[in-house]
Amino acid sequence: MENLCEALKNIGLPDESVEFIRKSIDDSKTMDAVIEEIENGKIFDKDSFSEFFRKNFRIIPNISNIPECSENSVQNNADTEGTVPDNNSDDEKSVAENQDNKKTADTDKVDEKKPLSNTEVTQHTASLWKYQPVNPDEPETNEEYIINSIHLPYADIIGASVRGKKHKHDGSDRDDWFEMRDIGEIAVIAVSDGAGSKKFSGIGAKVSCKAAVEAAEKLVMKLHSDGNYEKTIENISAPLNSPEFMNGCGVFADIIQQSVIAAYDAVQNAFEERKSRYEYLEFLKRDMNVRDFSATLLLMITVPVNDEQFVISCQIGDGMIAAVSSFMPCSEAVKLLGEADGGAFAGETDFLTSESMKRRETLMGRTRIARRKISDILIMTDGVADDYYPNASQLSRLYTDLQLNNIIPVRDNPDKKADNDIISRIPEPVSYPWVNDNNIEIAINYSSEIAQSCGISTEDLWQNSAVINAAREKLRKADNISGEKQLKTWLDRKKLSADNLSGEEKLKIWLDNYVERGSFDDRTLVVCSLSGNRG
């Protein structure tokens, strides 16, 4: 215990926070109990506590499971993928612990004094994840993946949701969901993340998304039938400080908030329909509560106005919605259109099942409106948002990663000429074993690694389309190499070709396989790419 507490102090956690953790461990409190104390304001330094667990442990089912460790082992843990599964038990062990076990077993091959590189550790831990189908005893399950796309005159929208590595490893269901709908020139997108600790949260996520987009469609169609649609579009095209613009915003705010309330009602109805059914109660082993369907909801409506894009959103819980202007400097390109409840830590969020989410005054505070020239809109659950944290500065990296992996088009920058010396230093894509099939390795481009290898900043990479295009070409070649462990082998079995995959298929494969430290949750991302990039 003393070694752990000393290590926590050495990495910068305040003394008061260390004492809080010490007492929590002594009391054998569960993580849920600790989170409850944080939410109730009983911990004095919530941000430090949250950030510590985000960076070093990410998901710990019980706080008493934190291993005794030294300063070096905590630092090693901070430099690796977080926690990894033990294939012989349901518990998780720290990467540092697994790394030490490997060294002990291979003393004749590995110098114990020489630490493994981050890539070596990640390659090793990636191979430890195993694939298990969803528990057949679950009364209602979601598909392993969902993908979809919409093509509008002004935008291409693609979306994908994938089952997280930890869910695959322990045989649990995917809790994320998304829906998209085109209503004439209007696009509606809903994304939801079921609370991982709630047994039927995946149902809550699914019904809330479906209900939200259906309600939005009905309300927009009512604008048409009432003869008010054209006037409303005219109003949101008016000067930003005009009464007309405010009136138009009010109409769309009413639509999006009524749609959230419809989602709330849908979750309540899902609970009522199932609360007395034997198969659900048998699986739960107790009486059902509406909180068993807890889920977040991010709802967005967008419509083009002149040479700009009008975007309105309402967010319940974590995740993120962002507008990207790829033609602007990196530091100015991303505008966040939402705010995660209670900070960045996954346990500190409100859910749609809270009664306050049916009150207009609550929803007004969660509604955001923007009208500006933008190239793309990104809507994601925390399984993606947490990997690019803090979002304000790191979502530009996400956008670059999407370009580098041939998922979205590259905006050419004629002012940035190709530098053959820089291009020659672009590294090969990084490959790690795929959880679904450890015999297949998926090649991925990472903007941070490319920038480092090329000796440029991520900001420089953002505006260097020549480097991005060269890296994309390397990935295309890697994806078309024949070999026992290559993606092409898997695609051939499916009678597919890497060059002919749809954008949503590419997004699915990338979401399923990119590696970030401590990341193993479900991942859902919808990308709305506007034609001509609106620059």
How many Å from the N-terminal Cα to the C-terminal Cα in the chain?
57
Q: Is the pLDDT of residue 523 over 70?
A: yes
- Please state the pTM of the whole predicted model: 0.78
Summarised one tens digit per residue, pLDDT across range 361-384 is 999 999 999 999 999 999 999 999
Q: Are residues 198 and 95 in the same domain?
A: no
Domain boundary among 351, 379, 407: 379
Lowest mean pLDDT among 160-164, 230-234, 334-338, 436-440: 436-440
The reply to whether 210 and 105 lie within a common domain is no
Q: Mention every residue, 6+ apart, whose C-beta is less than 8 A from residue 517.
A: 79, 80, 81, 82, 122
Question: The tokens 């979401």 sit on which residue?
Answer: 511
Calculate mean pLDDT across residues 291-318: 96
293 occurs within a structural domain: yes
Domain identity same for 117 and 219: no
Q: Which of 379, 413, 447 is the last residue of a domain?
A: 379
Q: Domain check: are 180 and 114 in the same one?
A: no
For the segment 40-82, what is each residue's pLDDT rounded down to a tens digit?
544 434 444 444 444 444 333 333 333 333 333 333 333 333 3
CA-CA distances (angstroms) from residue 271 to 51, 294, 389? 34, 10, 34
Whether 531 contacts 185, CB under 8 Å = no
Please check whether residues 90 and 186 belong to one and the same domain: no
In a domain, 375, yes or no: yes
What pLDDT, on the 0 to 100 scale, is given for residue 508? Answer: 96
Q: Which amino acid is at 364?
A: M
Instruction: Provide the greatest CA pair distance for the chain.
Output: 80
CA separation, residue 200 to residues 196, 288, 290 (Å): 9, 10, 9
Q: Measured between alpha carbons, how far is 377 from 311 in angstroms, rounded to an integer?
A: 9
DSSP code of 411? -
Flag whether 460 is in a domain: no
Dihedral of the CA atoms 214, 219, 225, 230 (nearest 10)? -120
> What are the angstrom distances between the C-alpha of 144 and each of 141, 163, 208, 211, 535?
9, 6, 19, 21, 37
E runs forming strands in 55-95: 83-85, 92-94
**Which helix (H) or strand (E) is 444 found in, with range?**
strand 437-444
Chain-centre distance for alpha carbon 268: 26
Residues 90 and 176 in one domain: no
113 shares its domain with 196: no
- Give yes or no for a contact between 471 and 479, defined as CB atoms under 8 angstroms apart: no
In this structure, the answer to whether residues 255 and 340 fall within a common structural domain is yes
CA atoms within 13 A on the CB side of 429: 30
The pLDDT value recorded for residue 334 is 96
Q: Are residues 107 and 229 in the same domain?
A: no
| Gap between the Cα atoms of 386 and 525, Å rounded | 12
- On whether residue 64 sits in a domain, the answer given is yes
Domain count along the chain: 2
Selection from 524, 534, 532 nearest residue 180 by Cα: 524
Per-residue pLDDT reduced to its tens digit, 314-329: 999 999 999 999 999 9
Residue 118's Cβ-side half-sphere holds a number of Cα atoms within 13 Å equal to 13
Of 190, 161, 182, 173, whose CA–CA distance to 525 is shortest? 161
Domain that holds residue 54: 2-126
Residues 98 and 200 in one domain: no
Predicted pLDDT at 473: 94
Contact yes or no for 215/262 (Cβ under 8 A): yes
Residue 140's contacts (CB-CB under 8 Å, 6 or more residues apart) are 200, 202, 203, 280
Q: How confident is the model at residue 22 (pLDDT cuts 50, 70, 90)?
A: low
Domain containing 254 — which CATH number? 3.60.40
Find the angle CA(172)-CA(342)-CA(512) to the nearest 5 degrees. 35
Last residue of a domain, one of 379, 412, 439: 379
Strands 523-530 and 155-162: antiparallel
Tell me whether residue 255 is in a domain.
Answer: yes
- Render pLDDT for 378-404 as a digit per residue (tens, 0 to 9): 999 999 999 999 999 999 999 999 999
The answer to the question of residue 465 being in a domain is no
Domain shared by 237 and 329, yes or no: yes
Residue 134 lies in a domain: no
Q: Does 299 map to a domain?
A: yes
Do 121 and 176 fall into the same domain?
no
> What pLDDT does residue 6 have?
58
User: Looking at 201-356, which runs of residues are DSSP E strands?
Assistant: 297-305, 308-316, 320-324, 334-336
